[in-house]
Amino acid sequence: MKKRHIYSFILAGSVLMSSCTKNFDEINTDPNKTTADLFNPNFLMSQAEFQFSNTGYDQLLFQSMWIQGLSSTYDYYGNGDKYVLRGSGTGYYNRTWNTSYGAVSLIDEMKNLVKGNAAYTNLDNCGSILRVLFLERVTDLYGDIPYSQEGQAKSGITQPVFDTQQSVYTSMLSQLATAVTALDASKATPTADLFYGGNIAQWKKLGYSLMLRVAMRLTKVDPATAQKYAEMAYAGGTMTAVADNAKAQADYANSNGNANAAALLVPDDFREVRWSKTLMDYLIANNDPRISAIAEISAGTGKAANETQAAGINTASLQIGMPNGYDQAGGATDISKAPNYPGTSPANPAVTGDAAAPDGKYSRPRFAVYDDRNMNNIMLTYGETELLLAEAATRGWNTGNAATHFANALTADMKALAQLNTSAAATVSDADIATYVAAHPLVAGTALQQINTEYWVAASTVFDFNETYANWRRSGYPVLTPVTYPGQYITGQIPRRMPYPITLPQTNGTNYSAAVSRQGADNFATRVWWDK
């Protein structure tokens, strides 16, 4: 991780200003400088993987609460919890866009450096898979995006066209099919790979699993293409174990800390971000053993205790989810007015100046798991892949047995939680997993609901809320009730997309306008192509 910023420094240091000084090049050329011929392009891979994976507020302020995974009374989180712009609300429109395109730019440069060099064929094809992984998130959130002309500033294209989402998806599937086929374990492997340490067999599984996910996005709008590529992915070989999960571990000691943990450790966030009642009620109703792995309440009472950044009490029977759409303003939407409000956590008389904690009895993300600065960022899992195969099989496609895939997914989703930390703090016992799987077989009449509700739980509990949000829009499960609150930017429905970054009309106005004219108003209600 220490190499993360090397290339940007090298690029900056290699820029030479013009001058009329005689023998300028000889006098001013650093004999130790590097060039594209000397620079190892592998270094760019790890930087791109980590940059893309490390989301934080990119997904916490909006997506995590749109899908009712998390909840908060803190005003700043009104952006997602209540559909009301707060703080720098419009400024956060660009977070996923900038993070993802920033990571893609590193992959673009990596691929440029290895172009035509047979020794780097695996690095090149892994780069193609990463480019799809990164840009799928962007198009899923915004719709039409720069794709075919992305990354061509060196060629003079500084205002790329926005490709239709349909064409982006067509291209992504085609590029994945080409890249995964071209991977060759007999050739040199990537040497700075955070996901798999250069293991080509696992990269093939990732490529086919990503192909499956991309394909399944099309079930509403192009089921024939969805079936074609889902069956291709299954035949090619998707993930087979939790060891295949795509993840990148943070490295706090070297200034690469986990952004989700950094956000939650802000005092106001730590005190007021809670698991949503919608999610916790589902887990409780199903006696899900993940409850004690992911949730806790403060070990003490009062405001001071709820701000103390230390492990709490994770006993499953004590956990309570907080409903979305409430505040601490004292009016009709004050959290104390919520149905079945458990009561305030009273001030501790032994603490000078302590106050009551209105949210104190609600469950927060477990400290040892989600506030770990070295926590893994998980991006695509074996469990999610098995759920998608189960859905494809339920639709009658040639992807195996739906019930078997579903049982595999339940087991894998629970085991994936232990991967969040090197301490395996969120481990669910094998016995508890087996009991849960036996009690929750796939039922034909409710299969799509079961599969996609589990997907919602699985992606949310590993904090991949971008994926939770995308699959919820595609599948419609679970059925969620929109929040009602004064002054909302959208009413009567949960947002269906993120507006484009507010700078685009100035920086790429013509192509931005064309995309909006084609796609629909640039607001939270306009649906992306695959969500029609």
pLDDT confidence of residue 198: 98
Q: In the structure encoding, which two tokens stand for residue 329, read together?
A: 């303003």
What would the DSSP string read from start to end of 325-391?
S-BSSSSTTBGGGSTT----B---TTSTT---BTTTTS-EE-HHHHT-TTPEEEEE-HHHHHHHHHH
What radius of gyration do the chain's Cα atoms show? 24
DSSP SS3 for 428: coil
Q: Are 457 and 283 in contact (CB under 8 A)?
A: yes
pLDDT tens over the chain, length 532 residues: 444 444 443 333 333 333 344 454 555 555 555 555 668 999 999 999 999 999 999 999 999 999 999 999 999 999 999 999 999 899 999 999 999 999 999 999 999 999 999 999 999 999 999 999 999 999 999 999 999 999 999 899 999 999 999 999 999 999 999 999 999 999 999 999 999 999 999 999 999 999 999 999 999 999 999 999 999 999 999 999 999 999 999 999 999 999 999 999 999 999 999 999 999 999 999 999 999 999 999 999 999 999 999 999 999 999 999 999 999 999 999 999 999 999 999 999 999 999 999 999 999 999 999 999 999 999 999 999 999 999 999 999 999 999 999 999 999 999 999 999 999 999 999 999 999 999 999 999 999 999 999 999 999 999 999 999 999 999 999 999 999 999 999 999 999 999 999 999 999 999 999 999 999 999 999 999 999 9
Which secondary structure element, helix H or strand E, spans residue 247, and what is its range?
Answer: strand 246-249
Per-residue pLDDT of 204-249, as tens digits, reads: 999 999 999 999 999 999 999 999 999 999 999 999 999 999 999 9
Could you give the C-alpha distances from 110 to 120, 220, 250, 259, 427, in angstroms and in order?
A: 10, 35, 22, 25, 37
Q: In the structure encoding, which two tokens stand for residue 517, read together?
A: 């004219």
How many helices (DSSP H) and strands (DSSP E) are in the chain? 24, 6
Dist. CA 87–CA 173, nearest whole Å: 38
Closest CA to 474 of 223, 276, 127: 223
Q: Which architecture characterizes domain 42-249+377-475 according to CATH?
A: Alpha Horseshoe (1.25)
Residues forming beta bridges with residue 327, ordered by sequence position: 334
User: Dihedral sign, CA of 215, 471, 399, 289?
Assistant: positive
Per-residue pLDDT of 425-482, as tens digits, reads: 999 999 999 999 999 999 999 999 999 999 999 999 999 999 999 999 999 999 999 9
pLDDT confidence of residue 39: 80
Dist. CA 335–CA 98, nearest whole Å: 35
Dist. CA 384–CA 375, nearest whole Å: 20
Q: Quick one: residue 202, left, alpha or beta (phi over 0 = left, psi -120 to 50 = alpha)?
A: alpha
Q: Are 531 and 141 in contact (CB under 8 A)?
A: no
Q: Are 289 and 428 in contact (CB under 8 A)?
A: yes
What is the domain partition of the chain in residue ranges?
42-249+377-475, 261-370
What would the DSSP string read from start to end of 27-76?
HH--TT---TTTS-THHHHHHHHHHHH--THHHHTTHHHHTTSEEE-SGG
Q: In the structure encoding, which two tokens stand for residue 241, read together?
A: 């174990």
Closest CA to 455 of 439, 486, 478, 432: 478
pLDDT confidence of residue 239: 99
pLDDT confidence of residue 31: 52
pLDDT confidence of residue 9: 38
Q: In the structure encoding, which two tokens stand for residue 217, read together?
A: 């996005």
Strands 376-380 and 246-249: antiparallel
Dist. CA 303–CA 285, nearest whole Å: 30
pLDDT confidence of residue 33: 56
Q: Position of tokens 């990732």?
A: 206
pLDDT confidence of residue 17: 34
At 186, the amino acid letter reads S
Spatial neighbors of 131 by CB under 8 A, at least 6 apart, are: 104, 107, 108, 111, 175
DSSP SS3 for 197: coil
Dist. CA 411–CA 301, nearest whole Å: 36
Closest CA to 455 of 67, 140, 77, 133: 67
Dist. CA 334–CA 59, nearest whole Å: 25
pLDDT confidence of residue 20: 42
Dist. CA 81–CA 463, nearest whole Å: 16
pLDDT confidence of residue 88: 85
Dist. CA 315–CA 282, nearest whole Å: 17
Closest CA to 332 of 485, 482, 492: 485
User: Dihedral sign, CA of 194, 196, 200, 202?
Assistant: negative
